[in-house]
C-alpha cells in the first residue's frame, strides 16, 4: 500500500487540508513555505496552491502558502495581500475572516475583544481555526463537521509521536469524510446536508462555489453563487436538477395552447452512458412553451444525467449540457410568490403604472404581449439574463458591476433562501448612472419580482426603470463576439480588425462602435434624390414615435431606404429606431414599443458597408509624425459628452494649429492657431462647431500641425 511519511507536527496541515478539500473552509493558509512534495500532495487532493510573499515591520520577508478548491479565492487573496505588510488592522482581520470562512460574528467580536470567554469547551475550541464569540449560534453548527474530519484524520494518523504511515486513501482523497460543505464568503450558518457523491457529476467551467452550476446559471436561477447552498438542507445543483426533472416528467404529451408540453422522439437505436454504461435511447424530448413560442430539445441521455443530478451529459452519441437559462424561460419564467405587490400597480404585474408608461407597457394589462408572463416578470427576466454578460471592470462602453459583500447572511422572507447581506453596484459609462441592489434583490429578480423582503433588509424595492437604464447601454451584447466590441469574429476578420482585441487601432473606441459611427456619418451625408451610380437614401417618416427605453429619445416610427444600383437592385431598409442605435455606435438594436411589441434586430455591417461603398477609415486624416519628440495624447475623457481635454507637448516654441474634423475629412472646428512656447499644453473642446452649434454624436479627429509635424487621433462624442 502506498504511504507517505508525515511527522506528527504536521497533523495540523493534514487536518487543514481535509477541511479545505471538503470546502468547510473555502481558503486556508500555511504560514511558511511547503516543500514540493507537500504541494504535490495538496494537488493530489484536488486543491490549488499559491505562494504569497509578505513583509514584516522590520523589513524582512516571509512566504505563505495558500490553498483552495477554487482559483478565485487564491486570486482574491493574492490581490489583497501580495507584498503587503503583516498587520492586525481591523480591515485585514475582516478580509482574512471573509476568505478563510470564519463566522462573521466571531470575526467582529475578536477584533473588538479577542479571546473573550465563550461557551465552547476547550477540546472543541482546539479543533477550530477561529476563536468563537460568546453565545455564538454559528459555531455549534460547524463543530460536527470539524469533529468528523478531525476524528477521521486522527484515526489515520494513529496519534503516534513518531513518523506514521498514511494509507494511499488519504493521498487519493477517497476517505469517506463528512459531506463537502462550503461556507459563503460571509461565513454564516451551514445547513446540515450532505452532497451526494454522484459519479455522474461533471464539472462545469466558471463555477465559483464548485456546486456543478455555472455562475451564470446561478444568476438565472436566483441562487447563491458564492456558496453551494441557498435553501437549507439541499445543494443548489441537487435542488434544481430534481426540480426541472420533475417538471419535465409531469408535462402533458399532447399539444397544448395554454401551457408547456413535451413531445418524445424515440430513435431506432441505443447509446451508452460513458459513466455507468447504461443503455439509453438515441432520441430526444422536445419541450415546448406555445405561449412564449419557445422550445428546447434534450437528448434522452440528458434526462438520464438529470436523474443523477447533473445538467451536463456524456453518452457515446450525445454529449453536452442542458441550457439551464432556456429551460427556465420555458418551464419556470417566474414565481408568483416573489412578485410582492407594490403600490400604484393597477394591473398587479409587478410594475408601477409610471414604470409601465416609461417602459411602453399597457398599465391596464398584466401581460401586454400575451405570452403568459406578467410584464414585470418579463423585464426582470431580461435583466437577469443580461447580468452574466457584464464585466467586473469598465471597458468605457458597457455597464460594469462591483460586488460589495458583507460579513453576514440574510434570508428571503418569501422562500427562506440564505443570501449574503451585501449588494452589487452597477455603473453605466454611457449615461453616468449608478444603481445598487442587494443580493436578495438579485435573487428575487430571477424569480420575476422587483420588490424584495429579507431579514436584514426588509421591504426593499428596485426601481425597474432606473435599474433597466443603468444595466443597459446602446452598445448591446451579441453572440460570437469574443472581444465584446459589437462585431462578430467573422465580421472583424472581414474588416481587418483583430477578433480578440476590442480596440484594434488603440484609439480608445472599440472596433464595432468605431465602424458603426463611421457608417452613420456617411449615411447621414448621402444625397436624398436618385443617384445613377452610387448610394443615396429615400426617407419614409410617419406620424407617431416611440421612445428609446435607454435614453428616452423620441424616435420616428418610419424608416429609410438605402439604394445603390451598382450593388443590388433592391433597397436596404433601415428603421429610424435601428438608425438611432447606429448613431450611438451599435449595429444591434432593441426596445419595447407600442404597448408591449418588442423590436429587436441588427443592421448587418458587411451589407451596409457594401451599399455605402465604404473603405474602412476612409476620409480620416492619417497620423504622420516627422518629429518624434512632438507628442499628442489621447483626449480625456473619451468617449465624452459635454467637454474633453486635449493635451500635447512641444519640444520647442512653435506655431501650432489644432483642428477638429469629422470622418469625412471636413473641418468642423478650429480650436487654436497661435504660437506656443516649449512644454505641455492643454486645450478643451465642448463638442460644438465653429458657429457654436452642438455637433452630433460620432467619431471626430483632432489634428495638431506644428511646422513640419502633423499628428492626429480619433475621439468619440456621445450625446
Same domain, 14 and 118: yes
Which of 58-72, 198-212, 315-329, 612-626 has the least mean pLDDT? Answer: 612-626
pLDDT category of residue 617 using cuts at 50, 70 and 90: very low
Residue 346 lies in a domain: no
Strand order in the sheet with 644-650: 631-632, 644-650, 679-685
* Over residues 342-357, mean pLDDT: 94
* Over residues 73-81, mean pLDDT: 83
* Helices 511-524 + 605-612 axis angle, to 10: 40
Same domain, 196 and 119: no
Same domain, 213 and 79: no
Residue 674 lies in a domain: yes
What pTM was computed for the model? 0.64
Residue 181 lies in a domain: no
Residue 660 lies in a domain: yes
Residue 636 lies in a domain: yes
Same domain, 290 and 371: no
pLDDT category of residue 294 using cuts at 50, 70 and 90: very high
- Per-residue HEC secondary structure of 183-216 comes to CCCCCCCCCCCCCCCCCCCCCCCCCCCCCCCCHH
- On average, the pLDDT of the chain sits at 83
| 118, 143, 172 - which closes a domain | 172
Would you call 681 exposed, middle or buried from its count of C-beta atoms within 10 A (0-12, 13-18, 19+)?
Answer: middle
* Over residues 269-276, mean pLDDT: 91
What is the structure's pLDDT at 662? 85
Residue 349 lies in a domain: no
pLDDT of 627 over the 60 cut: no
CATH of the domain at 647: 2.60.40.4070
Same domain, 21 and 160: yes
pLDDT category of residue 187 using cuts at 50, 70 and 90: very low
Q: Are 106 and 133 in contact (CB under 8 A)?
A: yes
Residues 378/382/388/392 CA torsion (nearest 10 deg)? -120
Grid coordinates in use for 494? Answer: 472581414
pLDDT of 718 over the 50 cut: yes
* Helices 375-386 + 439-446 axis angle, to 10: 120
Taking CA atoms, 224 is separated from 246, 418, 569, in Å, by 22, 8, 55
pLDDT of 3 over the 60 cut: no
| 471, 500, 529 - which closes a domain | 471
Same domain, 122 and 227: no
The total domain count for the chain is 5
Same domain, 115 and 10: yes
Same domain, 122 and 65: yes
**% pLDDT > 90, the chain:** 32
Which of 154-163, 248-257, 443-452, 461-470 has the least mean pLDDT? Answer: 154-163
What is the structure's pLDDT at 596? 64
What is the structure's pLDDT at 594? 66
Residue 171 CA from chain centroid, whole number:
37
Strand positions, DSSP E, 25-138: 27-30, 48-55, 61-68
Nearest to residue 684, comparing CAs of 634, 643, 716, 648? 643
pLDDT in tens, 358-385: 888 899 999 998 889 999 999 999 999 9
In the three-class reduction of DSSP (H, G, I as helix; E, B as strand; rest coil), residue 240 is classed as helix
What is the structure's pLDDT at 331? 92
Taking CA atoms, 237 is separated from 116, 195, 215, in Å, by 39, 9, 12
pLDDT in tens, 540-591: 999 888 888 888 888 998 999 999 988 888 999 999 999 999 998 999 998 8
Residue 477 lies in a domain: no
Same domain, 690 and 577: no
Q: What domain range includes position 369?
A: 363-471
CA angle at 96 for the pair 93 and 99, rounded to the nearest 5°: 150
pLDDT of 10 over the 70 cut: no
What is the structure's pLDDT at 397? 87
Which of 43-52, 273-282, 382-391, 623-632 has the least mean pLDDT? Answer: 623-632
Length of the chain: 719
Q: When comparing pLDDT for 385 and 96, which is higher?
A: 385
pLDDT category of residue 157 using cuts at 50, 70 and 90: low
Cβ count within 10 A of residue 429: 18
What is the structure's pLDDT at 581? 92
pLDDT in tens, 389-438: 998 888 888 999 998 988 888 999 988 888 999 999 999 998 889 999 99
Residue 456 lies in a domain: yes
pLDDT of 643 over the 60 cut: yes
* Over residues 478-507, mean pLDDT: 86
| 292, 315, 332 - which closes a domain | 332
Of these ranges, 51-60, 424-433, 486-495, 702-711, the one predicted with the greatest mean pLDDT is 424-433
Q: Are 513 and 486 in contact (CB under 8 A)?
A: yes
pLDDT of 173 over the 50 cut: no
Same domain, 576 and 653: no
* Over residues 84-98, mean pLDDT: 78
- Per-residue HEC secondary structure of 347-380 comes to CCCCCCHHHHHHCCCCCCCCCCCCCCCCHHHHHH
Same domain, 587 and 684: no
pLDDT of 601 over the 60 cut: yes
Same domain, 33 and 166: yes
What is the structure's pLDDT at 191? 32
pLDDT category of residue 297 using cuts at 50, 70 and 90: very high
- Cα-flanking dihedrals φ and ψ of residue 498, to 5°? -90, 115
Which of 340-354, 421-435, 668-682 has the least mean pLDDT? Answer: 668-682
CA torsion sign for 385, 389, 392, 398 is negative
pLDDT category of residue 595 using cuts at 50, 70 and 90: low
Amino acid at each position: 500500500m502506498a504511504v507517505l511519511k508525515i511527522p506528527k507536527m504536521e497533523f495540523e496541515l493534514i487536518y487543514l487540508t481535509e477541511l479545505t478539500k471538503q470546502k468547510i473552509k473555502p481558503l486556508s493558509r500555511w504560514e511558511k513555505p511547503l516543500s514540493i512534495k507537500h504541494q504535490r500532495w495538496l494537488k493530489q487532493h484536488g486543491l490549488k496552491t499559491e505562494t504569497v510573499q509578505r513583509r514584516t515591520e522590520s523589513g524582512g520577508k516571509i512566504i505563505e502558502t495558500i490553498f483552495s478548491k477554487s482559483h478565485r479565492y487564491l486570486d482574491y487573496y493574492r490581490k489583497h495581500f501580495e507584498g503587503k505588510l503583516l498587520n492586525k488592522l481591523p480591515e485585514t482581520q475582516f478580509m482574512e475572516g471573509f476568505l478563510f470562512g470564519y463566522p462573521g460574528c466571531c470575526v467582529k467580536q475578536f477584533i473588538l475583544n479577542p479571546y473573550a470567554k465563550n461557551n465552547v469547551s476547550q477540546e472543541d475550541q482546539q479543533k477550530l481555526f477561529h476563536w468563537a464569540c460568546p453565545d455564538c449560534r454559528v459555531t455549534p453548527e460547524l463543530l460536527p463537521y470539524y469533529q468528523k474530519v478531525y476524528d477521521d484524520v486522527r484515526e489515520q494518523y494513529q496519534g503516534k509521536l513518531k513518523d506514521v504511515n498514511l494509507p494511499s486513501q488519504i493521498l487519493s482523497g477517497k476517505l469517506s469524510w463528512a459531506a463537502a460543505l462550503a461556507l459563503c464568503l460571509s461565513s454564516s450558518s451551514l445547513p446540515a446536508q450532505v452532497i451526494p457523491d454522484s459519479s455522474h457529476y461533471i464539472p462545469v467551467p466558471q463555477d465559483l462555489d464548485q456546486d456543478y452550476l455555472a455562475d451564470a446559471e446561478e444568476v438565472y436561477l436566483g441562487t447563491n453563487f458564492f456558496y453551494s447552498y441557498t435553501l437549507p438542507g439541499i445543494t443548489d445543483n441537487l435542488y434544481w436538477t430534481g426540480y426541472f426533472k420533475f417538471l419535465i416528467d409531469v408535462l402533458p404529451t399532447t399539444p397544448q395552447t395554454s401551457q408547456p408540453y413535451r413531445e418524445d422522439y424515440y430513435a431506432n437505436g441505443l447509446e451508452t452512458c460513458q459513466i455507468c454504461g447504461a443503455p439509453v435511447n438515441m432520441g430526444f424530448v422536445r419541450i415546448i412553451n406555445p405561449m412564449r413560442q419557445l422550445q428546447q430539445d434534450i437528448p434522452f441521455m440528458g434526462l438520464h444525467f438529470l436523474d443523477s443530478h447533473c445538467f451536463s451529459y456524456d453518452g457515446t452519441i450525445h454529449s453536452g449540457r442542458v441550457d439551464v437559462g432556456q429551460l427556465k424561460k420555458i418551464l419556470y419564467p417566474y414565481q408568483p410568490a416573489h412578485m410582492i405587490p407594490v403600490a400604484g400597480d393597477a394591473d398587479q404585474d409587478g410594475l408601477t403604472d409610471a414604470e409601465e408608461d416609461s417602459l411602453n407597457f399597457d398599465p391596464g394589462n398584466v401581460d401586454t404581449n400575451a405570452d403568459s408572463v406578467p410584464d414585470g416578470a418579463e423585464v426582470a427576466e431580461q435583466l437577469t439574463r443580461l447580468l452574466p454578460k457584464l464585466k467586473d471592470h469598465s471597458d468605457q462602453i458597457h455597464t460594469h458591476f462591483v460586488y460589495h459583500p458583507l460579513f453576514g447572511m440574510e434570508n428571503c422572507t418569501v422562500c427562506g433562501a440564505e443570501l449574503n447581506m451585501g449588494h452589487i453596484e452597477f455603473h453605466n459609462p454611457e449615461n453616468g448612472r449608478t444603481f445598487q441592489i442587494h443580493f436578495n434583490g438579485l435573487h428575487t429578480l430571477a424569480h420575476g419580482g422587483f420588490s424584495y423582503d429579507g431579514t436584514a433588509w426588509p421591504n426593499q424595492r428596485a426601481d425597474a426603470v432606473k435599474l433597466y437604464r443603468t444595466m443597459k447601454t446602446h452598445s448591446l451584447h451579441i453572440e460570437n463576439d469574443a472581444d465584446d466590441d459589437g462585431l462578430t469574429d467573422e465580421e472583424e476578420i472581414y474588416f481587418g480588425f483583430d477578433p480578440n482585441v476590442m480596440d484594434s487601432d488603440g484609439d480608445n473606441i472599440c472596433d464595432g462602435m468605431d465602424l458603426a459611427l463611421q457608417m452613420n456619418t456617411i449615411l447621414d451625408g448621402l444625397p436624398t434624390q436618385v443617384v445613377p451610380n452610387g448610394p443615396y437614401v429615400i426617407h419614409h417618416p410617419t406620424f407617431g414615435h416611440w421612445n428609446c427605453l435607454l435614453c428616452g429619445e423620441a424616435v420616428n416610427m418610419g424608416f429609410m431606404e438605402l439604394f445603390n444600383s451598382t450593388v443590388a437592385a433592391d433597397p436596404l431598409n433601415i428603421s429610424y429606431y435601428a438608425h438611432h442605435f447606429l448613431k450611438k455606435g451599435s449595429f444591434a438594436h432593441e426596445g419595447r414599443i407600442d404597448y408591449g411589441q418588442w423590436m429587436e434586430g441588427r443592421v448587418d455591417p458587411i451589407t451596409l458597408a457594401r451599399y455605402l461603398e465604404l473603405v474602412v477609415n476612409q476620409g480620416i486624416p492619417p497620423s504622420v509624425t516627422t518629429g518624434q519628440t512632438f507628442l499628442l495624447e489621447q483626449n480625456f475623457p473619451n468617449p465624452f459628452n459635454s467637454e474633453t481635454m486635449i493635451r500635447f507637448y512641444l519640444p520647442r516654441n512653435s506655431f501650432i494649429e489644432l483642428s477638429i474634423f469629422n470622418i469625412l475629412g471636413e473641418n468642423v472646428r478650429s480650436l487654436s492657431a497661435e504660437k506656443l512656447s516649449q512644454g505641455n499644453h492643454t486645450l478643451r473642446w465642448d463638442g460644438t462647431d465653429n458657429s457654436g452649434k452642438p455637433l452630433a454624436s460620432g467619431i471626430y479627429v483632432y489634428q495638431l500641425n506644428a511646422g513640419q509635424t502633423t499628428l492626429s487621433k480619433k475621439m468619440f462624442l456621445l450625446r
